[in-house]
Structure 1
Amino acid sequence: MFKSAFLASALLLTAGTAMAAEMKASDAEGVWETATGGYVEVYEDGGTYKGTIVGSKSGEARYDKNNPDESKQDRRLLGVTVLKGLEYVGDGKFEGGNIYSPDNGKTYKAKATQTGADSLDVRGYMGISLIGKSQTWKRVEADAPNVHKDLLQSAGASQ
Structure 2
Amino acid sequence: MLKRALLCTALLATAGMAFAADQKAEDAAGVWETASGGYVELYEDGDHWKGKIVGSKDGQARYDKKNPDESKRDRRLLGVTVLDGLSYAGDGKFEGGTIYDPNNGKTYKAKASQSDPDTLDVRGYIGISLIGKSQTWKRVDKNAEHVHQDLLE
Fold agreement, TM-score > 0.5 = yes
**Matching residue of 1:78:** 78
Deviations 1:9-57 (A, max 9, x none): 5554333222111110000000000000000000000111000000000
Point out where structure 1 has 5 or more consecutive residues left out of the alignment: 154-159
* C-alpha separation in 2, matches of 1:7 and 1:35: 31
After superposition, the Cα gap between the structure-2 partners of 1:8 and 1:66, relative to the gap in structure 1 and judged at 3 Å, is: same
RMSD of aligned residue pairs (Cα, Å):
1.8
Q: How many percent of aligned residue pairs carry the same amino acid?
A: 73
Secondary structure, aligned partner of 1:95: strand
CA distance in 2, matches of 1:80, 1:73: 12
Output aligned runs, 1:1-159, within 5 Å: 12-153=12-153
Q: When the two structures are superposed, what TM-score results if normalisation uses the length of structure 2?
A: 0.93
- C-alpha distance in 2, partners of 1:145/1:58? 9
Stretches (4+) displaced over 2 A:
2-15
Give the TM-score normalised by the residue count of structure 1.
0.90
**Structure 1, 127-136 or 7-16: larger mean CA deviation:** 7-16
Q: Which runs of 5+ in 2 are unaligned?
A: none
C-alpha change, 1:39 and 1:7, in structure 2 (3 Å) is closer
Q: Count how many residue pairs are aligned between Structure 1 and Structure 2.
A: 153
